[in-house]
Structure 1
Amino acid sequence: MVHLNNISKQYGSQILFTKASLQILPGIRTGMVGPNGAGKSTIFRLITGEEEPDKGEISCSKKTVLGYFSQEVGEMSGRSALEETMSAVAAVIDLAQEIQKMEAAMAEPMEDNELAALLERYGDAQEEFEHRGGYDLESRAQAVLTGLGIGPDEYHRPVESFSGGWKMRIALARILTINPDVLLLDEPTNHLDIESILWLEDWLKNEFKGSVLMTSHDRIFMNSIVSRIIEVSNKTVTTYSGNYDFYLRERKIRRDNLLASYRRQQEMLAKEEDFIARFAARVSHAAQVQSRIKKLEKIERIELPPEQKVMRFEFAEPPRSGDDVVAMDNLAKSWILDDQNTNTKKVFSGVSGMIRRQEKIAVVGVNGAGKSTFLKVLAGETEATSGTVTLGAKVTVGYFSQHSMDILDGNRTVFETIQEVMPQAHIGMIRNLCAAFLFQGEDADKRISLLSGGEKSRVVLATLLARPLNLLILDEPTNHLDMQSREILLEALKKFKGTVILVSHDRHFLHSLVDHVMEIDHGNMRLYGGDYNYYLQKSAALEKRK
């Protein structure tokens, strides 16, 4: 369907890839992985024609319809959510009008050869209309919007009234409604809650029949969708047949084999070079020396690709808190919706209980249930409407949220930001902490205002690590982290000797870390004294009884 052959691309002195080739095959779901800056987004833009390769060829059938979802949604205004979603299928709507005109024309008398030509065009148009799902456009758009969390009561709401994250959902709905032959998805789960991720996962597996090329930092999502991995790294593209877990295993095997071959070659080269150095001056060995020199010139040297940089850190041993970390007594929170204080929205109420030392707790619930608000109340970022939160003896709190990233001082450097929270530390210690979060050398002197979302996220995590904390309250800590950084953070939190309360839509993270679950459901809090699997089983049983 889509073929990239011997593609080369560079920006200035930065070479992304040289003589790289890849294929998107009919019906095959492919995951694309690689470090930030390796060229994954560039491959998407090359396929869509937004950019041209420096060398090589890109071939794609003229009839192949591409659908591309990226993190750049563009301007949205002047339409309702449903109209914005339907705007992507304008060509199919035009095709329906063309079919109507042809049907009207066929009712008029005409020459046999004209009628034959018209019937052929009509048949092609009908086939294309049916292939694009033209007979159920609006119902499909509505189903996709609902699946992504925008229900019937919001179909006709002005698109400009939605927040950035919800606009991303509308942009995704717009692409899915096209029903393209090839679906290009750049981080489609970034702004979705677990319910919407599950819907999208099911839709891609059971409803969508075309090809998929996608990037995602959600390990479970990637594993459940793809059967092939394309790795973009070290100026080349490598294909693996299997899902993400298979790719990790196979990549390690390939690297281990390459390393073994490299060591064998280095040993052989050392022996040959030693022989040449020892006997170069002897006339009796001249022929042998020349033979070995020619042999070495012909050998293709094995090169080891550099290891991908990843965060490397562990939380310091926290000061011990009391066994009772957070006591909640009849805790409630409502938001006031008008100036007269007469219209309020209940977020949660009647929450009582105890969070104990070293527990790892996930707070779950549908989007908008109040999970982030609950964390803010526990962290003291907002006051409860009623009830109390009492911290136990010697509890020191660290709070992470997207808002934490927003309040970073844009004029400070990474180094200065971390130094502020550990003023007594020497420069070497601060530099080492910066390096652990991938800010090495000059990168540590970058101003916060110039950083990406992922880089800002790493800065905030570094400031948490720099302080003696024993209670971490984390609101979506993995949102802007790549898959390897998520794994490093996960391992660090598993070893952390303090208490963790978090909200996350990364199911792999939840399955691997938490031992208790608190669910907010229609303003009520339900406590589950088991891990995430236990919660899923119990909540499914509750749903059946309703």
Structure 2
Amino acid sequence: MTVLQVADLSFGYGADKLFQGITFSLEHGQRAALVAPNGAGKSTLLRLVARELTPDTGSVVIRKGVRVAYFRQSHELQAEGTVLDAFLSGFSEVLDLRHALTAAQHAAASGSEADLDRLSDLTDRYHIAGGDDLERRVEIIAAHLGFTPADMDRPVASLSGGERGRLQLGVVLAIEPDLLLLDEPTNHLDIETITWLEKHLAGLAGALLCVSHDRAFLDAVCPNTMELGQRSFRSYPLKYSDYAVAREEDLARERELAERQEAFVAKTEDFIRRNIAGQKTKQAQSRRKMLDKLETIDRPEDVWATAEKVRFRFAPAPRSGDIVLDARGLGASRGGRALFSGVDLLVRRGDRIGVVGPNGTGKSTLLKLLAGAGAPEDVGDVRRGTNLCQGYFDQHLGSLDPQRTAVEEIRSVRADMNVDATRQYLSRFRFYGDDALRKVQGFSGGERSRLALAKLLLEPRNLLFLDEPTNHLDIPAAEILEEALAGFEGTVLLVSHDRRFLEQVTTRIVAVREGRVDVYPGGFRDYRDNLEKLAAEAAAREAEGREAARGP
């Protein structure tokens, strides 16, 4: 059953078309990834499907009766009510009954027969409406997204940006829609939560259209991949990794066909020029008519070509000592809660260490301690090796001034570079033309990340601290950064939830969890295998608990 039909869709701003001629459909149960570089219009296409925007041409048809849920990057939530109210917001009847039931419970304390009868009536109605089952489902989703039972009574207005994002994701999942639209759902989720989300979405009964830069997530969730271009739209019944191979083969074949036709046309036109007024005039005229009827094969659009031009190159740096950092007894607390204690870590030259763990466990705090930027109340000692040239990438991009242009940001580090040299340098990071003269406050998340990395790479570094460096990068930029770090001759310590990035870059993993810090010398795969083992043990205990509850 088709739940979504998009036909000949185009959209742009003024004369500039983001995309045109987009046609595709989604069947019930079909899960598809929508991929393209940053700025290609993926989020805009989702908004068109959700009918938040009106297309210039074409149509979006959603089957009558289909429930649609849309997770936006912007995490737009009404700051009213509790977390549980937000989770139940897609079920207005149940939510209204629940509020009435709560009021009735308070009123029944009077002991009056009328109040007790009303409480009994509302309790029955709430149960018949499925409120109890819905609350249990919501509690399971909430727990996997990091919300405790106590959090369910918190006002939405008290949540942080990351918590709002996880709540918004939980809200759309709780609805169990027939058509689910997800725009970067894994941003700011930890690895364990992403793994749960993959399994949850794999069991989705409805259709899914997902935008994400997380390659491992796309491979696990979406067996279909759609590529959005300005004048092309490719659809493959393949997961992302297989699509990436197949599209290169298709592009090579299509380029060859276009080149063959161009060579044929050039040869034919040369014959026409030489013979139009000679003895072979009729042949020349015949060939002219043939060319006029020939259907031109355009060179294929390579949507990733510009994105792949970003270049992360490290300036030559002096060699550091063999022992880079020797950390002893590190510990930190925040908000009266101990994050970790007694952490010992020896970092040698050439190490590429990934710091992982659930959100809120202190990954960024540990990175700052190792970088010498911890809080005054933190404990422990970090002995630094010789000849270190350190650089730090902050996930919040605090090194950027919103009021400066990209050129001014670069020249704040290298005042010796003139404007022309600065613009040429910025072109390596996909800032072309007037982009270099725009203020940072108008940049997208991806543009800010590329600019912060451009600043970081201006000076020689042999020790890098990177906190979520791929968070806003599109897939080509993340892959190019991977290659650069894998060939980096210095030392790297990084925090990331991007599993493919961790697999390609890191040599060791430091896992922070429930006050413990464990080191996995086998790298990310060693850590992943341990996670899978723990998950299997937890599932077995849960199954045993359910069996015991049933009794003999």
Same fold at TM > 0.5? yes
Q: Distance in 2 between matches of 1:496 and 1:149?
A: 36
Partner of 1:308: 306
Partner of 1:9: 11
Matches within 5 A, 1:262-281: 262-281=258-277
Q: Distance in 2 between matches of 1:31 and 1:134?
A: 33
Q: Distance in 2 between matches of 1:435 and 1:29?
A: 36
Structure 1 residue 268 displacement after superposition: 0.7
Task: Tell me which amino acid in the other structure corresponds to 1:323.
Answer: D
The 10-residue stretch of structure 1 (258-267 or 426-435) with the greater mean CA deviation from structure 2: 426-435
Partner of 1:382: 374
Tell me the alpha carbon deviations over residues 48-97 of structure 1, each in whole angstroms, 9 at most, x when there is no partner.
Answer: 22222232232222211111111122243231111111112215667999
Partner of 1:116: none
SS at match of 2:210: strand
Tell me the alpha carbon deviations over residues 411-438 of structure 1, each in whole angstroms, 9 at most, x when there is no partner.
Answer: 2211121122233345554333201111
Q: 1:537–1:211: structure 2 CA closer, same or farther, 3 Å change rule?
A: same
Q: Distance in 2 between matches of 1:293 and 1:422?
A: 59
Q: Distance in 2 between matches of 1:518 and 1:164?
A: 26
Q: Distance in 2 between matches of 1:499 and 1:489?
A: 15
1:391 equivalenced with 2:387 (yes/no): no
Q: Distance in 2 between matches of 1:539 and 1:93?
A: 37
SS at match of 1:155: helix
Q: 1:540–1:264: structure 2 CA closer, same or farther, 3 Å change rule?
A: closer
Tell me the alpha carbon deviations over residues 450-472 of structure 1, each in whole angstroms, 9 at most, x when there is no partner.
Answer: 11121111111011111100011
Of 508, 527, 532 in structure 1, the residue corresponding to residue 524 of structure 2 is 532
Of 236, 241, 244 in structure 2, the residue corresponding to residue 245 of structure 1 is 241
Q: How high is the TM-score relative to the length of structure 2?
A: 0.86
Q: Distance in 1 between matches of 2:241 and 2:375?
A: 43
Matches within 5 A, 1:17-56: 17-56=19-58
Q: Distance in 2 between matches of 1:443 and 1:401?
A: 22
1:326 equivalenced with 2:337 (yes/no): no
Task: Tell me which amino acid in the other structure corresponds to 2:268.
Answer: E
Q: How high is the TM-score relative to the length of structure 1?
A: 0.87
RMSD (Å), alpha carbons: 2.5
Tell me the alpha carbon deviations over residues 240-259 of structure 1, each in whole angstroms, 9 at most, x when there is no partner.
Answer: 11110121111101100011
Of 281, 287, 296 in structure 2, the residue corresponding to residue 286 of structure 1 is 281
Contact persistence 1:317–1:496 (CA under 8 A): no
SS at match of 2:140: helix
SS at match of 1:57: strand
SS at match of 2:153: coil
The 10-residue stretch of structure 1 (323-332 or 354-363) with the greater mean CA deviation from structure 2: 323-332
SS at match of 2:90: helix
Q: Distance in 2 between matches of 1:281 and 1:96?
A: 90
Partner of 1:522: 514
Contact persistence 2:77–2:164 (CA under 8 A): no
Q: Distance in 1 between matches of 2:94 and 2:280?
A: 79
Matches within 5 A, 1:340-489: 344-383=336-375, 385-403=378-396, 405-425=397-417, 429-489=421-481
Q: 1:332–1:94: structure 2 CA closer, same or farther, 3 Å change rule?
A: closer
Partner of 1:136: 133
Structure 1 residue 445 displacement after superposition: 1.2
Partner of 1:255: 251
Q: 1:486–1:359: structure 2 CA closer, same or farther, 3 Å change rule?
A: same
Tell me the alpha carbon deviations over residues 307-350 of structure 1, each in whole angstroms, 9 at most, x when there is no partner.
Answer: 33332232233321001101112222223x4xxxxxx3222211
Tell me the alpha carbon deviations over residues 385-414 of structure 1, each in whole angstroms, 9 at most, x when there is no partner.
Answer: 2221122101111101123x2341222211
Contact persistence 1:133–1:179 (CA under 8 A): no
Contact persistence 2:399–2:452 (CA under 8 A): no
Task: Tell me which amino acid in the other structure corresponds to 1:443.
Answer: D
Q: Distance in 2 between matches of 1:227 and 1:345?
A: 42
Partner of 2:75: 73
The runs of 5 or more residues in structure 2 that have no matched partner are: 100-124, 542-552
Structure 1 residue 281 displacement after superposition: 3.1
Contact persistence 1:276–1:292 (CA under 8 A): yes
Percent identity reads 40
The runs of 5 or more residues in structure 1 that have no matched partner are: 98-125, 338-343
Q: Distance in 1 between matches of 2:26 and 2:323?
A: 55
Q: Distance in 1 between matches of 2:512 and 2:20?
A: 51
Corresponding residue pairs, total? 505
1:184 equivalenced with 2:181 (yes/no): yes
Contact persistence 1:230–1:237 (CA under 8 A): yes
Contact persistence 1:65–1:180 (CA under 8 A): yes
Of 504, 510, 513 in structure 1, the residue corresponding to residue 502 of structure 2 is 510
Q: Distance in 2 between matches of 1:539 and 1:40?
A: 33
SS at match of 1:402: coil
Q: Distance in 1 between matches of 2:98 and 2:343?
A: 55
Q: 1:72–1:383: structure 2 CA closer, same or farther, 3 Å change rule?
A: closer
SS at match of 2:65: coil
Partner of 1:108: none
